[in-house]
Structure 1
């Protein structure tokens, strides 16, 4: 016999709920506009996307209510109508507010749209469905965060690589700003000074992303801004907003691998950071020649080792900043420190060789320390002076003339 198929009570309830979806969607948007101050500040396009998601969610709930087993993926699929940029328009917290507002609106409105017998079953199902939607929203935002994190990591590596290669320009500054880099102290200071730090990376199993995140967090806790990237077996950190990078790096040392950590000289800004980077990289290469070097060590403390390893900048710096001042005037300081070093660091032997009083030797050696920053009586400084004098004579045979 060809009569009408008799529908179940549950299916009839689902049909009545389906008929109310338009009114529920309209009421949901009105509730958002009324209860969420930030919603009205969105652009018309963004409000439209949210409206589509709300409509999609309510329609998906009806299908899920009709047959939860057949439509188990509905809570996740309801976000399919929103563009990828949706997660950048509103935060996860705001999404939760939207869901809460929509659920509260449905619970308040459903009694006016459906028979009283339908309300308990619909409300119970809505609670279960809302939980699934919340999990789906969290998944969407987690995936977006992973994608953004991966992109940020690539961008950060590009910025650091540009600094190392000396290609920092306005585009690099713009990319760094997109990563949140300000180059100023995170504790309220206004310093924009920058220093580059280079050391060995931890073993691969530590995870480059985790190390970079930890270094940035630790640097900001210490009051500095930071960019960080792995380059093969080395870890490069660009510190900003601090004139005392060594103090900051002491708090980051645990995130570097074994071996030396070299801190480049402080420069005025990110655009000049190649000078600091070049010195730090050269210092890392030369650091094994000074087994007793502190950790971290400043690149300028490694000038003699850097010059011996072929760093032309270190050679010129020693010749101009150390040897050069000693050649000024009549050159007695140069003769005195040279004789002192040749005499095995003996003041008395120096005085005898130069036919002067020992106190005169002491005075001149003190002046050497004041002019160059290196005390001849300190073994490490004496070594630096010895290398500087050798390089000065090689690079500038005529005392008193300028260095190239």
Structure 2
């Protein structure tokens, strides 16, 4: 069925009707109408040319070869004007549609994660995006200073193509790339990381994955877990490209009793502040040591020190605090205190 004959008829009328600015404005309106109707640009051009053919048929009755040639030249010039104006109008309407789509999607995700909208209204909007509110979902959050709308579109299209439109919803929200996925899907985090790596390069982004939770409240919980994981990673200096909230549950536990962790940090590490140069050097040494599972050689290499210098620092820590990482129970206390110090931003720079 021909749903776009109106476009050919409208162009034919334009080519035998108004000229100049009126012709261009009318053509732009036709192009915008075509974009709103979802017609591909290829079909827009085809219909304009059909309209031009119809307009030409109306000129063939002109007497004399010269008149026909003049009419043809005029028609070709007008056709060029109409095509250019129609495609400009089409492009403007298409861009406006993309902006509306992005705004609607971002607003829906915001309402969905905030849970402040009437459940009936939210369910109706969720159906449009393939989201089942009662189901289990996982929220992925990506952070980077280089995120932008075009990147979000590419990521959304790539994830939807691989995992299905009804299983993935991706948008920019508060400067972060937020991806909501069905809880049973696997492989989304690696695919998201691959897409960001391809577009932004290494070291310029980080992704966190919340735990799967059911219902609307579960979406907000998964989002909070993902964002908190990124916050903790920034404080602790974790540079892994993909973080899983399930692997970082100890940190919310530490911060849940802030008074207790503050007391632990000051009691265990406080004496380091009396050392020449302050506590920072010793905290960095312990941090790198724990990252390398207590290996003195690897720690020395990472700190650009000799193994003897590392051993000296550890002995100095024991002298000041009474704790040494070579002792199992003391190692756990020291490690917990070091993590707590980084979470608290202690000591202040």
TM class by smaller structure = 0.5 to 0.7
Deviation at 1:269, TM superposition (A): 6.6
Deviation at 1:303, TM superposition (A): 0.6
In the alignment, which of 225, 231, 235 is matched to residue 285 of structure 1?
Answer: 231
Q: Which has the higher contact order (CA 8 A, sep 6+)?
A: 2
Task: Please list, as runs of the form range in 1=range in 2, the aligned pairs for 1:317-356 lying within 5 A after superposition.
Answer: none
The answer to whether 1:150 aligns with 2:99 is yes
Match of 1:182 in 2: 130
Deviation at 1:127, TM superposition (A): 1.6
Match of 2:282 in 1: none
Label 1:222 to 1:52 Cα distance change in 2 as closer, same or farther (>3 A).
Answer: closer
Q: TM-score, normalised by structure 1?
A: 0.52
Q: Are the equivalent residues in 2 in contact too, given 1:183–1:194 (CA < 8 A)?
A: no
In the alignment, which of 44, 50, 55 is matched to residue 13 of structure 2?
Answer: 55
Label 1:219 to 1:170 Cα distance change in 2 as closer, same or farther (>3 A).
Answer: farther
Q: Report the Cα distance in structure 2 between the residues aligned to 1:162 and 1:301, rounded to whole angstroms.
A: 28
Q: Report the Cα distance in structure 1 between the residues aligned to 2:141 and 2:29, rounded to whole angstroms.
A: 46
Q: Are the equivalent residues in 1 in contact too, given 2:143–2:177 (CA < 8 A)?
A: yes
Q: Are the equivalent residues in 2 in contact too, given 1:197–1:238 (CA < 8 A)?
A: yes
Q: TM-score, normalised by structure 2?
A: 0.59
- Structure 1 vs Structure 2 CA RMSD: 3.7
Label 1:292 to 1:87 Cα distance change in 2 as closer, same or farther (>3 A).
Answer: closer
State the secondary structure of the residue aligned to 1:281. helix
State the secondary structure of the residue aligned to 1:110. coil
Q: Are the equivalent residues in 2 in contact too, given 1:287–1:305 (CA < 8 A)?
A: no
Deviation at 1:151, TM superposition (A): 1.4
In the alignment, which of 72, 84, 96 is matched to residue 123 of structure 1?
Answer: 72
State the secondary structure of the residue aligned to 1:59. coil
Task: Please list, as runs of the form range in 1=range in 2, the aligned pairs for 1:2-401 lying within 5 A after superposition.
Answer: 37-39=2-4, 47=6, 51=9, 54-60=12-18, 64=19, 71=20, 73-79=21-27, 87-89=35-37, 91=39, 92-111=41-60, 113-117=61-65, 118-167=67-116, 169-175=119-125, 178=128, 181-182=129-130, 194-203=137-146, 208-224=148-164, 225-232=168-175, 234-240=176-182, 243-244=185-186, 245-254=188-197, 258=204, 260-267=206-213, 272-288=218-234, 291-292=237-238, 294-310=240-256
Q: Are the equivalent residues in 1 in contact too, given 2:13–2:55 (CA < 8 A)?
A: no
Q: Are the equivalent residues in 2 in contact too, given 1:265–1:279 (CA < 8 A)?
A: yes
Q: Are the equivalent residues in 1 in contact too, given 2:28–2:89 (CA < 8 A)?
A: no
Q: Are the equivalent residues in 2 in contact too, given 1:183–1:270 (CA < 8 A)?
A: no
Deviation at 1:281, TM superposition (A): 2.1
Q: Report the Cα distance in structure 2 between the residues aligned to 1:129 and 1:311, rounded to whole angstroms.
A: 76
Q: Report the Cα distance in structure 1 between the residues aligned to 2:99 and 2:37, rounded to whole angstroms.
A: 19
Match of 2:285 in 1: none
Q: Are the equivalent residues in 1 in contact too, given 2:14–2:23 (CA < 8 A)?
A: no
State the secondary structure of the residue aligned to 1:37. coil
Q: Report the Cα distance in structure 2 between the residues aligned to 1:96 and 1:246, rounded to whole angstroms.
A: 41
Deviation at 1:202, TM superposition (A): 2.5
Q: Are the equivalent residues in 1 in contact too, given 2:141–2:209 (CA < 8 A)?
A: yes
Q: Report the Cα distance in structure 2 between the residues aligned to 1:270 and 1:103, rounded to whole angstroms.
A: 55
Deviation at 1:129, TM superposition (A): 1.7
Q: Report the Cα distance in structure 2 between the residues aligned to 1:294 and 1:134, rounded to whole angstroms.
A: 51
Q: Are the equivalent residues in 2 in contact too, given 1:52–1:81 (CA < 8 A)?
A: no
Deviation at 1:144, TM superposition (A): 0.4
Q: Report the Cα distance in structure 1 between the residues aligned to 2:63 and 2:101, rounded to whole angstroms.
A: 53
Deviation at 1:149, TM superposition (A): 1.4
Q: Report the Cα distance in structure 2 between the residues aligned to 1:173 and 1:227, rounded to whole angstroms.
A: 18
Match of 1:366 in 2: none
Label 1:142 to 1:93 Cα distance change in 2 as closer, same or farther (>3 A).
Answer: same
Q: Report the Cα distance in structure 2 between the residues aligned to 1:230 and 1:90, rounded to whole angstroms.
A: 27
State the secondary structure of the residue aligned to 2:98. helix
Deviation at 1:290, TM superposition (A): 5.0
Q: Report the Cα distance in structure 2 between the residues aligned to 1:311 and 1:131, rounded to whole angstroms.
A: 72
Label 1:241 to 1:292 Cα distance change in 2 as closer, same or farther (>3 A).
Answer: closer
Report how many aligned residue pairs link the two structures.
251
Q: Report the Cα distance in structure 2 between the residues aligned to 1:278 and 1:292, rounded to whole angstroms.
A: 18
